[in-house]
Amino acid sequence: MNRFAIKAGLGACVLGASVLIPAQVSAEPAATATGTELSGMTVFLDPGHQGSSEGHDLAQQVNDGRGNTKDCQTSGMTSLGGVPEHTINWNVTQLVKSSLESLGAKVVLSRQDDTGWGGCIDERARAASESNADLAVSIHADSTAQGEDAGKHGFHMIIPSLPIPDEKADAAQSGGGLEASKMMRDAYKSDGFVPANYAGVNDGLQTRADVAGPALTQVPLVFVEMGNGSNKEDSAQLESSDGQLKHAITITTGIVTYLLTGSETAPAQELAAAPAATTAPEASEDSASSTTTTTPKATTPKSTNPKSTAPDSAQLSELMEMLAPLLEVQGLDGLQDLVNDKNLGLVSDLASTLMAVITGAGGN
> Of all helices (H) and strands (E), which one includes residue 301?
none
Q: Please answer whether residues 205 and 178 qualify as being in contact, where contact means their C-beta atoms are separated by less than 8 angstroms.
A: no
Which pLDDT score, from 0 to 100, does residue 61 have?
A: 97
Task: Please give the pLDDT value at position 32.
Answer: 55
SS3 313: helix
Under DSSP, the state recorded for 20 is B
Instruction: Indicate which residue of 85, 123, 225, 285 is catalytic.
Output: 225
Judged by DSSP in three states, 216 sits in helix
CB 65 within 8 A of CB 166: yes
Cα gap 157→195, rounded to integer Å: 9
Chain centroid to CA 7: how far? 16
Give the whole-angstrom CA distance, residue 137 versus residue 242.
21
345's CB contacts (< 8 A; 6+ apart) are none
What residues form DSSP beta bridges with 157?
A: 205, 224
Per-residue pLDDT of the chain (364 residues; tens, 9 = 90+): 333 333 333 434 444 433 333 333 333 444 456 778 899 999 999 999 999 999 999 999 999 999 999 999 999 999 999 999 999 999 999 999 999 999 999 999 999 999 999 999 999 999 999 999 999 999 999 999 999 999 999 999 999 999 999 999 999 999 999 999 999 999 999 999 999 999 999 999 999 999 999 999 999 999 999 999 999 999 999 999 999 999 999 999 999 999 999 864 333 334 434 444 433 444 445 433 333 333 333 333 333 333 333 334 444 444 444 444 444 443 334 433 443 444 444 444 444 444 343 334 333 3
Are 152 and 196 spatial neighbours (Cβ–Cβ below 8 Å)?
A: yes
Smallest CA-to-CA distance from 220 within 135, 303, 279, 147 is with: 135
SS3 345: helix
pTM (2 decimals)?
A: 0.72
Active-site residue 264, yes or no? no
Residues 6+ positions from 135 with CB-CB distance below 8 Å: 43, 44, 176, 180, 219, 220, 221, 222, 255, 258, 259
Q: In sequence order, what are the residues at sequence separation of 6 or more whose Cβ sits closer than 8 angstroms to the Cβ of residue 47?
A: 86, 89, 90, 92, 93, 109, 110, 111, 114, 118, 139, 286
Q: Are 261 and 49 in contact (CB under 8 A)?
A: no
Q: Give me the helices (H) in the chain, please.
A: 13-16, 85-102, 121-130, 167-172, 178-190, 212-216, 232-239, 241-261, 269-273, 313-327, 344-359
- Which residue in 288, 354, 279 sits closest to 315, CA to CA? 354
pLDDT of residue 263: 63
Q: Indicate the length of the chain as a whole number.
A: 364
CB-facing half-sphere around the CA of 272: CA atoms within 13 A:
4
End-to-end CA distance of the chain, in Å? Answer: 19
**pLDDT score, position 42:** 98
